[in-house]
Structure 1
Amino acid sequence: MTDSATPIADIPFKGRAPIDALLATVVERLRQDGVRVIGFLQEDDSALLGGEVGADACSTMRLRDLAGGGVMGISQDLGRFSEGCRLDSVALTEAAGRLEAALEAGADLLVVNRFGKAEADGSGLRPVIARAIADNIPVLVPVREDYAPAWANFHGGLAASLPAEAEAVLDWCQRAVRPGPQAALSSLSR
């Protein structure tokens, strides 16, 4: 489904695409328009060192809280000889709790940093995404190709799929948070 009136949208991406910079641009512009955006933007050490977010798969991942401000780590340090990086499930549960509280306070749009492994497995921020959809709060979430099948299973054909272009994403967000006559007409034509 690609209708801009759909209250949930994904941005498919491959590998280490600069999806975090795109989300930051969109969120900033929406906030300038007075949109109450909640959720998280992902940051990591590679960005602090002048690289692109996600350039180093083993960097320390952090979430910037769009509602309350502040930054929280979501990766656990397994030591310098570790061959894998691990998402900290306790920190992710805390992040979900923060989002639940932000939903309670009210929002126009939920931006989730990723639909990733935890969400594909049924945990992580998945319950918060489901709640926002149930509460009719539009949701925007990037989905790496590895998790596209789990994402499709989760949304059941209800999500619009957007190109990784700021103007297209911004257009969808503006229509989703302020549905006007065009959104109403397009939903009638389905």
Structure 2
Amino acid sequence: MAVTELDDTDFFNPWALAAIVYDSGVNVDLLMGQFAAELSAAGERIGGVVQLPPGPEGCGPRALMQVLDVGSNEVIRICQDLGPGASSCRLDPARLLAASLRVRMATLAAPDLVFVSRFGKQEASGGGLRDEIARAVMAGVPVLTAVKRSTVEAWMAFSGGRGTLLYPRLSVLHDWWQDGRRRRRLPPLAALAREPWQGLNA
């Protein structure tokens, strides 16, 4: 399923799609991982993947890009090992597909929340985990992802401006989640959130 944008509003609950907007220097991976761990400890049914923070060596053979399956706690490497002389990393399409399948399997299990590590350059250009975000939303499963500020325009085009943009702070994520408890029974075509930058001044 190739998705240009989420243009079918019949199914859409605006609370159920949220993106953490972050700038360079913000450890959004750690933030999402901590939130996932706290939800799991509280008994929430979660699935999907979050990216693990890189090690001090950066990306390369000693600190490969990896994601965590938050449902099984299994770590999945998503980049190629380019050898000891490598100064950068390259996404491995086969490994990225494996991560994509984890998100799809999580969606089919209809958890309380699906984590999708990023809506990044790959997703903005039509690849990566873009389709899995759409699958989850169209299945009525709440989705939380992260979007770098430079990619927000592409995210808005994909989402049609719907959903919620969140400040990168743990308290904001918890506020969004608690608010969602009151919104989960909203019918389709519910009114859009009036303050998309929920918690900006929290």
**Which has the larger helix fraction?**
1
The alignment yields a C-alpha RMSD, in angstroms, of: 2.5
Of residues 110, 122, 127, the one that matches 2:131 is 127
Alpha-carbon contact 1:108-1:177 (below 8 Å) kept: no
TM-score when scaled to structure 1? 0.81
Change in Cα spacing, 1:118 to 1:179, as seen in structure 2 (3 Å) is: same
1:71 is aligned to 2:80: no
Change in Cα spacing, 1:179 to 1:57, as seen in structure 2 (3 Å) is: same
- Aligned partners of 1:188 and 1:99: how far apart in 2? 28
TM-score when scaled to structure 2? 0.77
The answer for the alignment partner of 2:110 in structure 1 is 106
Q: What do the CA deviations read for 1:28-61 (whole angstroms, capped 9, x no partner)?
A: 2222332111111212551xxxx4xxx7254411
Alpha-carbon contact 1:138-1:177 (below 8 Å) kept: no
Change in Cα spacing, 1:95 to 1:139, as seen in structure 2 (3 Å) is: same
Aligned residues between the structures: 177
Of residues 15, 28, 36, the one that matches 1:6 is 15
Q: What do the CA deviations read for 1:90-143 (whole angstroms, capped 9, x no partner)?
A: 111111112211211221111111111221121211111001110111111111
Offset, 1:26? 1.4
Alpha-carbon contact 2:59-2:87 (below 8 Å) kept: no
Question: Percent identity among equivalent residues?
Answer: 33
Question: Where does the alignment leave 5 or more consecutive residues of structure 2 unmatched?
Answer: 1-12, 195-202
The answer for the alignment partner of 1:150 in structure 2 is 154
Question: Where does the alignment leave 5 or more consecutive residues of structure 1 unmatched?
Answer: none
Change in Cα spacing, 1:45 to 1:161, as seen in structure 2 (3 Å) is: closer
Change in Cα spacing, 1:84 to 1:24, as seen in structure 2 (3 Å) is: closer
Change in Cα spacing, 1:86 to 1:109, as seen in structure 2 (3 Å) is: same
Change in Cα spacing, 1:16 to 1:70, as seen in structure 2 (3 Å) is: same
- Aligned partners of 1:5 and 1:172: how far apart in 2? 12
Does the residue aligned with 1:6 lie in a helix, a strand or coil? helix
- Aligned partners of 2:163 and 2:138: how far apart in 1? 14
Does the residue aligned with 2:68 lie in a helix, a strand or coil? strand
Does the residue aligned with 1:171 lie in a helix, a strand or coil? helix
For residue 89 of structure 2, what is the amino acid of its counterpart?
A: C
